[in-house]
Amino acid sequence: MTKTALVCGAGGFIGSHLVKRLKREGFWVRGVDLKFPEFAETEADDFVVADLRDNGNCKAVIDRRFDEVYQLAADMGGAGFIFTGENDADIMHNSATINLNIVDACHKRNVQRVFYSSSACIYPEHNQLDPDKPVTAEESAYPANPDSEYGWEKLFSERLFLAYARNHNMTCRVARYHNIFGPEGTWAGGREKAPAAMCRKVAEAQDGGEIEIWGDGKQTRSFLYIDECVEGTLRLMRSETFAGPVNIGSDEMVTINQLAELVMQAAGKQLALKHIPGPLGVRGRNSHNELIRSKLNWAPSASLADGIAKTYPWVASKVAERQAKSKKN
């Protein structure tokens, strides 16, 4: 029999890539989101535009016993969205409501396998002050002290899914994603993340010019290419023994200045870096991959340079489209 999957957040970056992968595997896929994917037609067999804060909508889309449900819908964005404080109430209320609705609708429909996407933002701020040695081993999440309300909501929802798993005999799997990037991700408008923003700034700049970087650029991060994120997600989802929470991220840590250099190399441009004040988040963050390696016998391994080489041309093509449009008007 054809297997069935539901992807909540299928109009978003990771969700739309996940739909493509599930289709390649032969699943019948339903996607649900507030919007269709922005940059390509969805490959879902059925796509429902609906607000998952509405419990009735959640019950309606979970109208059968899906083999796999992926809960990725969230009110989120990059540092410019999460760390200003202006969106805190929306982030907490909207995402928590979606999670409460979805996990309960899955339980009521007796769905057996549910995936929840948490985030590296749940890790305590005090363990991420040293840019050279950030601590993100999974057990270091407690005592909790995330650096944003986004992180607190994610931590609550991790526990929510795992509580349903314990009390209602469901199989829930929880991943903590670390900075996922790639083509067909948000690249402008305020919700974009560092790799896409960097690609956009470099694409917009004239060779020999300059680009702006938030902070001193010495803050460290790691970035995971989308294909490896989807691979890790499916491996965790289908593990018979391991529920997580587990990091799904790259352990190739770079400074933001180094990220800028990599993007410039991909673009073949040399630009000066102008450091300006901006929302920053923690000082250092990297994915700690021992647990995933030991439990799933797998960990991401592609280099950041390879991922940037695939992402830069896509962002540059979007910048060129936008410039051509604004010339016409």
Distance CA 193, CA 121 (A): 14
Q: Is residue 150 annotated as a catalytic residue, yes or no?
A: yes
Helix (H, G, I), strand (E, B) or coil at 188: coil
Q: Report if residue 67 touches ligand NAD, rule: CB under 6 A.
A: no
Find tokens 């991220």 and name the residue: 249
Residue 51 or 231 having the CB closest to ligand NAD:
51
Which of residues 5, 13, 131, 271 is near ligand NAD by CB under 6 A? 13
- With CA atoms as reference, report the closest residue to 8 among 32, 29, 28, 39: 32
Residue 34 or 135 having the CB closest to ligand NAD:
34
Distance CA 252, CA 300 (A): 10
Residue 94 or 219 having the CB closest to ligand NAD:
94
In terms of Cβ atoms closer than 10 Å to its own Cβ (0-12, 13-18, 19+), residue 243 is middle
35-64 binders of ligand NAD (CB under 6 A): 35, 51-53
Find tokens 């996407």 and name the residue: 117
73-132 binders of ligand NAD (CB under 6 A): 73-76, 94, 98, 117, 119
Which of residues 19, 29, 69, 72 is near ligand NAD by CB under 6 A? 72
Selecting among 116, 150, 164, 225, the annotated active-site residue is: 150
Question: Rounded to the nearest whole angstrom, what is the least distance from the CB of residue 328 to ligand NAD in the complex?
Answer: 28
Residue 51 or 138 having the CB closest to ligand NAD:
51
Which of residues 5, 6, 9, 136 is near ligand NAD by CB under 6 A? 9
For the residues of 222-288, what is the DSSP string, one character each?
Answer: --EEHHHHHHHHHHHHT-SS----EEES----EEHHHHHHHHHHHHT---EEEEE------SB----
Which residues have a catalytic role annotated?
Answer: 150
